[in-house]
Amino acid sequence: MLIKQAPDIRSSEITPERVYRNRREFIRTASGAVAGAMAGAAFGPEAGRVEAQEPIPNLLKSPFSTDEALNSFEDITTYNNFYEFGLDKGDPARYAHEMTIDPWSVRVEGEMNKPAADVPLETLLRPHPLEERIYRLRCVEAWSMVVPWVGFPLGDLIKRFEPTSKARYVRFETLYRPSEMRGQRGRSLDWPYVEGLRMDEAMHPLTILAVGVYGKTLLNQQGAPLRLVVPWKYGFKSIKSIVRIQFVEDQPRNSWNVAIPNEYGFYSNVNPEVNHPRWSQASERRIGSFFRIRTQMFNGYADQVASLYDGMDLRRYY
Ligand SMILES: Nc1nc2c(c(=O)[nH]1)N[C@H]1C(S)=C(S)[C@@H](COP(=O)(O)O)O[C@H]1N2
Ligand SMILES: [Mo]
């Protein structure tokens, strides 16, 4: 996927598909050699492989970025959760290259004024200027990272499709393709992976769709070519490799809630005061660091998002 920023797209710059594919091949081969040389012995020869990562120019800086130390590219691309490729943290880096992401389209449908459509990724992205957003990502398993995402507000995309007043939630689905996603050949989750947000959460300026990290397009293990990032919620809300966005009236059943309802709810706001039934959520381990740090309410974004939940019992709506 060739990513162009909205302001500098000219028709003369739109690369014909065949040329573009050849260029991808070239980048894959060239960077494959580098990645092979860099891959740590602990992760095996395929880990950390660089799959046609393209630089994304002219990124805007975001006032929402944290100034904490970034996790390394190595950390954020070799320690992943993406059950479609296996349960081990190293499996996504090992196997996600088996997923083809070109071409890619997203079906947008449901309670909206625009007609339902399969929108090619490039069309979906074209109007949106891309920013760098440095966010904390806090997994429900009590580890965290600081990631320099490249993306744009989900709310800007939602507005284009004019959801109606019946659209109270947004539902997302990940690609279902067992031939390329080996974890889907088993039943570790009920495929496809599903997530959802209440409309006001989806429209919140902190909620982004990400297409890159560290100034380049996402690797497959990170949810290429398009994934959600909701920084005040546990990581599993940030669904990867999205192929479907639906505006719906009823609260979606998200995959982890379907799998283990007493452990994983719909809201999943980071909350150090509500423990997971099997472990504490009061602290977390920042990947790459030895010491534990205290987990903050709403992952440190309380000033911006606490008002979304005024009057709600956050122990009940976990
Ligand atoms: N489709 C899909 N999306 C997913 C997951 C998954 O298994 N499948 N795992 C989630 C979990 S549990 C976390 S913590 C984050 C991890 O994102 P990262 O690997 O980019 O750090 O992705 C989330 N998105
Ligand atoms: Mo997670």
Tell me what pLDDT residue 144 has.
98
Task: Inform me whether the pLDDT recorded for 10 exceeds 50.
Answer: no
- Model confidence over 246-269: pLDDT tens digits? 999 999 999 999 999 999 999 999
Cα–Cα dist 236/245, whole Å? 17
For residue 53, name the pLDDT band (cuts at 50, 70, 90). Answer: confident
What percentage of the chain exceeds 70 in pLDDT? 84
**pLDDT tens figures, 88-115:** 999 999 999 999 999 999 999 999 999 9
Local structure of 222: helix, strand or coil? helix
pLDDT interval class at 33 (50, 70, 90): very low
What are the pLDDT digits (tens) for 125-152? 999 999 999 999 999 999 999 999 999 9
What three-state secondary structure class fits 155?
helix
Q: What pLDDT is recorded for position 20?
A: 37
12 band by pLDDT with thresholds 50, 70 and 90? very low
Q: Whose CA is nearest to atom 21 of ligand 1?
A: 80
CA distances, 160 to each of 164, 167, 275, 284 (Å)? 12, 14, 39, 38
Residue ranges of E strands in 237-303: 242-248, 283-286, 292-294
Q: What is the mean pLDDT of residues 284-295?
A: 96
- Identify which of 226, 243, 240, 218 has the alpha carbon closest to the alpha carbon of residue 51: 218
Q: What is the pTM of this model?
A: 0.87
231 lines ligand 1 (CB under 6 A): no
Give the pLDDT band (50/70/90) at residue 3: low
What's the 2 CA to ligand 2 centre distance in angstroms?
29
Compute how many other C-beta atoms are within 10 angstroms of the C-beta atom of residue 101. Answer: 21
Range from 3-17, 81-95, 143-157 carrying the lowest mean pLDDT: 3-17
Residues whose CB is less than 8 angstroms from the CB of residue 219 and which lie 6 or more positions away in sequence, other chains included: 50, 51, 53, 77, 93, 96, 213
How high does pLDDT run on average in the chain? 88
The ligand 1 atom nearest the CA atom of 234: 14
pLDDT computed for residue 115 by the predictor: 96
CA 284 to chain centre: 20
- Full set of structural domains in the chain with CATH: 11-309 (3.90.420.10)
Could you count the other beta carbons within 10 Å of the beta carbon of residue 233? 26
Q: Which atom of ligand 1 is nearest to the CA of 137?
A: 21
Cα dihedral sign for 145, 148, 151, 155? Answer: positive
The closest residue, in CA terms, to atom 15 on ligand 1 is 235
Check if 81 has its Cβ closer than 6 Å to any atom of ligand 1: yes
C-alpha 235 to ligand 2 mean position (Å): 4
Residue 234 has pLDDT above 90, yes or no: yes
Confidence category of residue 21, pLDDT binned at 50, 70, 90: very low
- Let me know: does 268 contact 210? Beta carbons within 8 Å: no
Residue 31 has pLDDT above 50, yes or no: no
135 C-beta closer than 6 A to ligand 1: no
Q: In which element (H, E) is residue 7 found?
A: none
Per-residue pLDDT of 42-51, as tens digits, reads 223 343 444 5
Structure tokens at 208: 């982004």
Amino acid 29: pLDDT? 34
Distance separating alpha carbons of residues 213 and 36, to the nearest angstrom: 20
| Closest ligand to residue 227's CA | 1
Q: Which two tokens stand for residue 302?
A: 């309380």
Separation of CA 155 from chain center:
15
Give CB contacts under 8 A, 24+ apart, made by 222-226. Answer: 222/76, 222/77, 222/80, 223/82, 224/1, 224/51, 224/101, 225/1, 225/101, 225/102, 225/104, 225/121, 226/104, 226/106, 226/121, 226/124, 226/125
- Beta-ladder partners of 242: 174
Give the pLDDT score at 198: 99
SS3 at position 243: strand
pLDDT tens track for 171-229: 999 999 999 999 999 999 999 999 999 999 999 999 999 999 999 999 999 999 999 99
